[in-house]
Amino acid sequence: MFKTIPFQYDDDLKREIDLRGLSELTFKNYRSQLRRISEHFKKDIKDITVEEAKAYLHHLKSVRRLHPQTLNLCRSAFIFFRHNVVGDYFQTFMLPHHKFVYKLPDILPSVNVVLILDSLTLKYKTVLSLCYGSGLRLAEALAVEIGDVESSNMKLYVRNAKGQRIRYTILSAYSLACLREYWKTYRPPGPKLFPKQNDPTKAKSPSNIQKAFSEKYKKRFPHCNKKITPHTLRHCFATHMLDNGVDLRALQALLGHKSIKSTSIYTQLTDYHFSKLTSPIDRGRA
């Protein structure tokens, strides 16, 4: 992939991303989408017209049947590049935004999560314990630095967060034990706890961890038809925190959600809130 047409806009794209305070992940995602468009048409991304971009989005939707979120990411990358790198301010309605229905995330019982975590290698277990024990996204867990861990008050500073929103979250005793064992075993050379092998200043790639976790879960629970990924652990953290009676606003702060609407979806998944409700038909018969 990406061998036919060279992409020569890394510096320009990165500069515009940085100027707007967007994340490194946004840069990588936009760059990847732009290169895919370029490869599809076998021409420089700067020469792709709006009509061609529209045709490409239709191809992703009707032929490849990709999720609307992927289509919207591709659309955003193209618009950002044309507006801010090329300086071509076309009307964005020419590339329609794709609507989609949000689905409730799959949730696992705590005992199943711990069973899988305990079966993983120390490195993977440590990273993923932060996803479940602290509600981190995988990229946030991989970005953790030594100074982010505050064991004295069981608190964790979250860097590389979505939207660059600074926050603290809780640190579990399980994760702290994993972190201490991991530190003794690996002694990472720089501030990053989970660095790349060839560059200790950068965080480890998530792909191997994602694959290991999903495969381990499928092997341990072969009859489970849920789509299980490391991000499932963040959903589990949120739901199980609500099950334990944590306030929705407090949970919003722990997760780093900009809007309470994003957090409130978990009220549909928790047993705690439903256990306190009584149907009016039952109250009428009481």
Which positions are catalytic? Answer: 137, 162, 231, 234, 257, 266
Q: Which residue matches tokens 């479940």?
A: 132
Cα 12 to Cα 10: distance, rounded to the nearest angstrom: 6
Taking phi first (over 0 means left), then psi (-120 to 50 degrees means alpha), and beta for anything else, what does residue 154 get?
left
Question: What single DSSP character describes residue 2?
Answer: -
Cα 252 to Cα 263: distance, rounded to the nearest angstrom: 6
* Ordered DSSP codes for 33-88: HHHHHHHHHTS-GGG--HHHHHHHHHHHHHTS---HHHHHHHHHHHHHIIIIII--
Q: Which residue matches tokens 């076998």?
A: 42
Cα 26 to Cα 96: distance, rounded to the nearest angstrom: 20
Could you tell me if 176 and 154 are in contact, meaning their C-beta atoms sit under 8 angstroms apart?
Answer: yes
**Encoding tokens for residue 57?**
């989005």
Cα 236 to Cα 114: distance, rounded to the nearest angstrom: 12
CA-CA distances (angstroms) from residue 240 to 85, 184, 186?
Answer: 44, 31, 31
